[in-house]
Amino acid sequence: MPWVRLEVITTSNFSSSLLSWIGSLHDEPSEIAHSTASSVRAPNAVEEIPLTQIPSASANQHMSTSIAGSKQSHNWLADFRRAATLMVQPKKPIDKAPNAWRSIQAIVFASWLNVLLVFIPISWAMNFALPNQHTLIFVFAFLAIIPLAKLLAFATDELSLRVGQTLAGLINATLGNAVELIVSIIALTKCQLTIVQSSLVGSILSDILLVLGMCFFAGGLRFSEQGFGRSAVQINSSLLTISVIAVLLPGAFHMALQGQPEYNEMLTDYNILKTSHGVSIILLFIYASYLFFQLFSHQALYDDDNEDMQPTKGYTGKNPFQLYKTRRNIKDGETSSSPSSAQDREATTPLSRPADANPDVEPGTHSTASVEIEAPEQPLMSLTVCLLLLVVVTVLVAVTAEFLVDSIDGLTSSGMINKEFVGIILLPIASNAAEHVTAVTVSVKDKLTLSLSVTVGASIQIALFVIPFIVTLGWIMNKPLTLLFDPLESIVLFLSVITVNYIVQDGKSNWLEGMILTCLYMILVVTFWYYPGTQGIFPNC
């Protein structure tokens, strides 16, 4: 057997050389070979090795393939970690958070709605002292939930400052629906299935009709056209359509079998219940895929500075909705450094995003900081106080919502108001009041993308997560909650989603489109005021 003399490293240098070679695995293959060769050239000892033990060409190729596969896996992991880092990293720097005392002051003076917090102890006292006064308990609990929802939104905004834009939108949509989720769970435990379904459908309708319509209308009073990203909105509209189809199918299932001679009501209800369980699992999978799409694979699609963003245009000439007089009208293309004419310039000149503009500034707004130096965001609360506020408000909402749900039967027993109107109209207004104000406020500042993420994003989360989650939770709790909604609710939901899809498909909005959506919601308010609802649609709990 032939022998070859090779120079190898000694035992004393083996550890350091091995560590150097392992560290070089993250480099290019050429660098690995160079590092390995330099490691084995240490002339410290000589050993005779038979030729049969020298790696062959196929072994070297196998080793190169393994290194390439390891590098590809490492690159995928690095991309995932990079996306996760960008997701939790805020786009703007964060200034130093205030102390606990300043944070508490910020909570107290966060909104004038805090004066309604006095109704929390009043509603609790009424529930224990006068349990038969259902109307008063409902009214006081209803008023108490409004400031709690506002405080929840305030804490959510403070938490969103510390993460990236996409994750901030997801947090706003998730915690914005916390009140609806708590009310639905409590109503489910008390077997108020009509309230569960109608409140969830009402939340979707209020978001995509009332809130979105008011955002378009309020922004249209200042700008001729407001632009947003068409691709992201169309994807969201498609997801809403899918969820509406899932709601319509059990109703079609039920109607198709009613006229058959072998129709069995108990068997049909059982089959619809099992169908709802299976469809709910599929909807949850769609929502998980949507989260991955939004947060990782197509994160740039939901940014404000993507190329799909439509420009915002001001009114040509004088704004017909302008309620005050200025010294002169700023013409198209004219610039002025006068502070008094800055706001008029925003509203009268076409607004577009330059290529080198600050991506954090929405179209139609003007940043006081330069592109090179960004002013840091000033948080109003420390992170500890923010998380503590979320916990406290959630507990208060849970207790108050329980008293609210308990009083619904007594409120509707008089016949003056029905459960459909309470669930479709009243409960969503109470739980989304703060969210409504925020969305409309930022739309006037031409931050329409944020308004859409709050309204349409919240609707998607209710349709693809909250509804199937509640159905699955009812399955676990042995409650017969299905996707068989009231026929009128299902039809109204379908027509509303189709209407919104037509309005947003061009990527632009104006005040007339907002008025149409708002008036459509007013039509639904009148309809459900007189609609008695469908009785006996659910099996007994």
Note the pLDDT tens digit of each residue in 334-369: 333 333 333 333 333 343 334 444 444 444 444 333
Counted residue by residue, the chain has a size of 541
pLDDT band of residue 528 (cuts 50, 70, 90) is very high
Report the greatest alpha carbon distance in the chain.
Answer: 105
CB atoms near residue 416 (< 10 Å)? 8
pLDDT tens across 106-120, in order? 888 888 888 989 999
pTM for the model stands at 0.71
Name which of 459, 486, 493, 484 is nearest 279 in CA terms. Answer: 484
The alpha-carbon radius of gyration of the chain (Å, integer) is: 30
Please check the confidence at residue 104 and state whether its pLDDT lies above 80. Answer: yes
- Under 8 Å between Cβ of 316 and 224: yes
What phi and psi, each to the nearest 5 degrees, are found at residue 48? -90, 125
Q: How far apart are CA 230 and CA 215, in angstroms?
A: 17
**Beta-bridge partners for 76:** none
- Average of per-residue pLDDT across 87-92: 62
60 versus 431: the higher-pLDDT residue is: 431
Residue 118 pLDDT: 92
The whole-chain average pLDDT of the chain stands at 74
Task: Provide DSSP, 443-492.
Answer: HHTT-HHHHHHHHHHHHHHIIIIIHHHHHHHHHHTT----S---HHHHHH
**Rounded-to-integer distance, Cα 497 and Cα 459, Å:** 10
Amino acid at 129: A
Give yes or no for a contact between 199 and 423, defined as CB atoms under 8 angstroms apart.
Answer: yes
Helix (H, G, I), strand (E, B), or coil: what is residue 317? coil
SS3 state of residue 210: helix
Residue type at position 108: V
Q: Would you say 435 and 458 are in contact if contact means Cβ atoms under 8 Å apart? A: yes
HSE-up of residue 199 (Cα within 13 Å, Cβ side):
32
Both structure tokens of 72: 């590809």
**Mean pLDDT calculated for residue range 244-250:** 88
Paired tokens of 214? 């008011």
Which amino acid is it at 150?
K
Contact (Cβ atoms closer than 8 angstroms) between residue 98 and residue 106: yes
